[in-house]
Amino acid sequence: MTSEVVENEFEFYSKAEKYWKDVPPTVDGMLGGYGHISSIDINSSRKFLQRFLRDGPNRTGTTRALDCGAGIGRITKRLLLPLFKTVDMVDVTEDFLTKAKSYLGEEGRRVRNYFCCGLQDFSPEPNSYDVIWIQWVIGHLTDNHLSDFLKRCRAGLRPNGIVVIKDNMAQEGVIMDDVDSSVCRDLDVVRKIIRRAGLHLLAEERQENFPDEIYHVYTFAMR
């Protein structure tokens, strides 16, 4: 539980904001020096996502996606814009969203909104998104804020829409990272928070071909 490792909630959030303000607005900056894994990450995410976008009675639509913790738009550019008509981005760091406007190039014209906001304070527009993609950012939310945010995401989905979380998973319990003021939860804790938010797990997958020294990364789809 984050309540056991986060002593001061205000400090937890403000330290994280300060950390990201000093990170260069590059792919390498977004990935903590692991920019070389970006293509492996995107290709796996595309395969995972496309199973929900294929033909079928419960097929997820491709009208609009939301990129949460979007940074400079690495996922928006390479995963979401090629698959969706329009994308919205939300990130707490204004400099990243400013950089996104040049990084995304011509296709960036299909980004409708750049929301500068922490996810603990952000509410997706109800009944608006086919996919809400949340990658490498849940560690910046307390358990209660993550559960509440996921409830708001659930309300933000269109019919057959899905919420996707892709993130690091600890081997056991909850681990605090004082450098970027984030937590890493184990699989059981994440699944409990998903259930608490009233969401139902549709698929779960471990990322392959990442460096051995980093945390295991899992992707979850839910609605």
Residue range 5-25, pLDDT digits in tens: 899 999 999 999 999 999 999
Residue range 191-216, pLDDT digits in tens: 999 999 999 999 999 999 999 999 99
Is the confidence at residue 2, as pLDDT, over 90? Answer: no
- Mean pLDDT along residues 129-153: 98
**In angstroms, rounded to a whole number, what is the distance separating the alpha carbons of residues 63 and 56?**
16
Residue 135, annotated as binding a ligand: yes
Q: pLDDT at position 78, please? A: 98
Give the confidence band of 4 by pLDDT, cuts at 50, 70, 90.
Answer: confident
**In angstroms, rounded to a whole number, what is the distance separating the alpha carbons of residues 131 and 139?**
20
Ramachandran region, residue 140 (left: φ > 0; alpha: ψ -120 to 50; beta: rest)? alpha
pTM of the model: 0.97
In the CATH scheme, what is the code of domain 1-220? 3.40.50.150
Residue 69, annotated as binding a ligand: yes
Residue range 84-126, pLDDT digits in tens: 999 999 999 999 999 999 999 999 999 999 999 999 999 999 9
**In angstroms, rounded to a whole number, what is the distance separating the alpha carbons of residues 220 and 206?**
9
Q: Is the dihedral of CA 205, 30, 18, 92 positive or negative?
A: negative
Residue 142, annotated as binding a ligand: no
Residue 50, annotated as binding a ligand: no
Tell me phi and psi for residue 12, to 5 degrees: -55, -45
Is the confidence at residue 3, as pLDDT, over 90? Answer: no
Is the confidence at residue 56, as pLDDT, over 90? Answer: no
Residue 51, annotated as binding a ligand: no
- Give residue limits of the domains in the chain: 1-220
Give the confidence band of 55 by pLDDT, cuts at 50, 70, 90.
Answer: confident
Residue 54, annotated as binding a ligand: no
